[in-house]
Amino acid sequence: MLSRANGHGRSSDRPFLVAAFAALALLLLPAPPVRAQGTAHAVSPAVAARGAPYFPPTAPAWAHRSPAAVGMDSAALERAVAFAEDTAHAGWGPDLKHALRVFLARDAGEPDNTIIGPVKARGPQTGIVIRHGYIVREWGDPHRVDMTFSMTKSFLSTTAGLAFDRHLIRSLDDRVVTYVPDSLFPSDHDRKITWNELLRQTSEWRGTLWGKPDWVDRFGMHGFQVRDLQEPGTYWEYNDVRVNVLALCLLDVWREPLPRVLKTYVMDPIGASSTWRWHGYQNTWVTIDGLRMQSVSGGGHWGGGMWISARDQARFGLMWLRGGAWNGKQLVSRKWIELARTPTKTNPDYGFMNWFLNTDGKTLPSAPATAYVHEGAGVNALYVDPEHDLVVVVRWIDRKYLDDFIRLVLASAEN
């Protein structure tokens, strides 16, 4: 069984020299154009009628509009904000180390809850409502950088999309082992795993990464459980160890740190601030092509993950609302969005990590079927609604009240 419990280089069953030169040559060539096929996220008639959509300039600049100016009822919107503030998650207090220990060790019964990445105290209950690209309402501390836990997975899957668009990943049905060191997929079982299965949390990868075995993070309806593994692609399970396998595989594909990839191709083009950080664990340093790099985590389960402001989260959501484009430039292909929004067979409410779909109305019963949410613990939610041309960020709200909050926001949208 594979084990990477330290940060002292990389072990492999095959030489890397030829692969390294090939990868370097590929990266030095001009990037092929981003694929633009697909019909996901067509501009709504309401947006088309107003002409060119608004995109905010580089942070911190962002134009505000009154609720009335964007077809929203001010009093109804205030009721939504008050509701969010009143339903802040009491369990996820400022001491997030305590919250992690309580929710994972005590409530879920996780056998190994050792924190191995950075953790910071959180800020106040916070939110932003964006309509037609403009800020309509903010509350809390929208400029504060906070942990976002599993919403990090949406940034991780974005780096996979960027690799797909540039043909660094030729097909999502390819077996991952053909791209990365054999040592990451040593068994016949693991060698079957495809990119699509890693992205959909159906990989059933077996092994140990960064000192965490895959079985330490298996959860069922009644908490932690040990079970027999199924064939890759046949069983859905939310498993952060396997998410971190995807992060390491993408690092091998890109041959450069994923935060730099995200910054270059997404965060800088959308005008995000310079305050966000994407962390790994203390033992996730590896050497690629002679350079020391950190493999980032796909969440804050054991610390680390994406630390970002609500303002920058909202920019990220606005990019998806506009079909992966920003101010005339296609940053992520519509084809990738179409794939990310395709329901997983074994869990139709889930697309690519962490695209929580609403196709059957189970994720958010009050929202349209076309809406979706990027979500992490806390709750940290980024709601994207093409039908209403809305992006909503809400942080540190109790998950059981998220649908009620979205219902109140939608009630304030008149047209």
CATH number of the domain where residue 264 is located = 3.40.710.10
SS3 175: strand
Q: Are 282 and 296 in contact (CB under 8 A)?
A: no
Please give the pLDDT value at position 2: 41
Q: What is the mean pLDDT of each run of 10 residues along the chain (415 residues)?
A: 38 37 38 40 52 93 97 97 92 86 66 89 96 98 97 98 98 98 95 98 96 78 70 95 97 98 98 98 97 97 96 98 98 98 97 96 96 96 98 96 98 84
pLDDT of residue 314: 98
**Could you tell me if 246 and 198 are in contact, meaning their C-beta atoms sit under 8 angstroms apart?**
yes
> How many domains is the chain built from?
1
On whether residue 353 sits in a domain, the answer given is yes
Helical packing angle, 402-411 and 74-86, nearest 10°: 170
Question: What does the alpha-carbon distance between residue 261 and residue 216 come to, in Å, rounded to a whole number?
Answer: 30
Residue 124 preceded by cis peptide, ω within 30: no
Least Cα distance to 139 among 401, 400, 314 occurs for: 314
- Find out whether 128 and 311 touch, Cβ atoms under 8 Å: yes
| Residue 51 forms part of a structural domain | no
Domain that holds residue 318: 3-26+59-411
Q: Which of 5, 374, 357, 347 is nearest to 197 (CA)?
A: 347
In a domain? residue 50: no
Orientation of helix 152-165 relative to helix 240-254, angle to 10°:
30
H-helix or E-strand containing 178? none
What residue has token string 């992006």? 391
Q: What's the confidence (pLDDT) of residue 215?
A: 85
* Distance of alpha carbon 368 from alpha carbon 273, whole angstroms: 31
What pTM does this model have?
0.88
Residue 313 CA to residue 144 CA, distance in Å, equals 11
Q: Is residue 39 part of a domain?
A: no
Instruction: Count the Cβ atoms, other than its own, within 10 Å of residue 283.
Output: 16
Residue 33 lies in a domain: no
| Residue matched to tokens 């879920």 | 108
pLDDT at 112: 74
N-terminal to C-terminal alpha carbon distance within the chain:
56
Distances (CA, A) of 220 to 184, 197, 227, 232, 316: 26, 19, 10, 18, 31
Q: How many residues does the chain have?
A: 415
Specify if 19 maps to a domain.
yes
CA distances from 155 to 171, 352, 367, 372, 381 (A): 20, 11, 23, 15, 13
* Domain-located, residue 36: no
| pLDDT value of position 101 | 80
CA nearest to 292, candidates 256, 262, 265: 256
Distance CA 310, CA 391 (A): 11
Instruction: Report the number of secondary-structure helices (H) and strands (E) in the chain.
Output: 11, 17
pLDDT value at residue 217: 74
Q: Residue 350: inside a domain, yes or no?
A: yes
Maximum Cα–Cα distance across the chain: 65
267 secondary structure, DSSP code: I
